Amino acid sequence: MPMLFVTLPVRDLPASRRFYEALGFRINEHSSDEHTAAVVVDDNIVVTLLSRDSFPVPVGDPAAGPTAVHCLTVEHRPQVDELVEAALASGGTARPATDDETTYTGSFADPDGHVWQIRWMDQLHVVN
């Protein structure tokens, strides 16, 4: 199974670590240092938080407008609200949610402005 690594520039690494830990994700300390934190979302997804000044080239500033939207799926509908509520309680900003017959998506921006969607999909309507 391939792995997905998403690298995000952050202004305040310790604050960003606390934010993602509050969402229930763990930090892989063996892959982290004073400039980076490896946030383990699951066995195949790692979000690497990298101090903005450590990036080798200038990158977009999500505070000026979304540079990307990251979407994670969850198994159960209530998990959408649980993750969004944890994000808001930890300094995230609410974004519009969507709800239709087959999907329910909550959304937030982390303290640096990176946009996340948390999506539940009715498995009866998922096309394989």
Q: Is residue 59 part of a domain?
A: no
Q: Is residue 31 part of a domain?
A: yes
Q: Is residue 100 part of a domain?
A: yes
CATH number at residue 108: 3.10.180.10
pTM: 0.85
3-state DSSP of 93-109: EEEEEEECCCEEEEEEE
Q: Cα separation of 1 and 67, whole Å?
A: 27
Identify whether the C-beta of residue 103 lies closer than 8 Å to the C-beta of residue 127: no
* Residues in CB range of 128: below 8 A, 6 or more apart: none
Q: Is residue 98 part of a domain?
A: yes
Q: Is residue 45 part of a domain?
A: yes
* Residue 111 identity (one-letter amino acid): P
Q: Is residue 91 part of a domain?
A: yes
Tens of pLDDT, residue by residue over 79-114, are: 999 999 999 999 999 998 999 989 999 999 999 999
Domain that holds residue 13: 4-53+66-125
Q: Residue 15: its pLDDT value, please?
A: 97
Q: Is residue 109 part of a domain?
A: yes
Tens place of pLDDT per residue across the chain (128 aa): 789 999 999 999 999 999 999 999 999 999 999 999 999 999 999 999 999 888 777 777 777 777 889 999 999 999 999 999 999 999 999 998 999 989 999 999 999 999 999 999 987 776 65
Identify whether the C-beta of residue 92 lies closer than 8 Å to the C-beta of residue 108: yes
Q: Is residue 61 part of a domain?
A: no
- Number of domains present in the structure of the chain: 1
Q: Which residues of 75-92 are buried (b: 16+ CB within 10 A; e: fewer)?
A: eeeebbeebbeebeebeb
Q: Residue 75: its pLDDT value, please?
A: 94
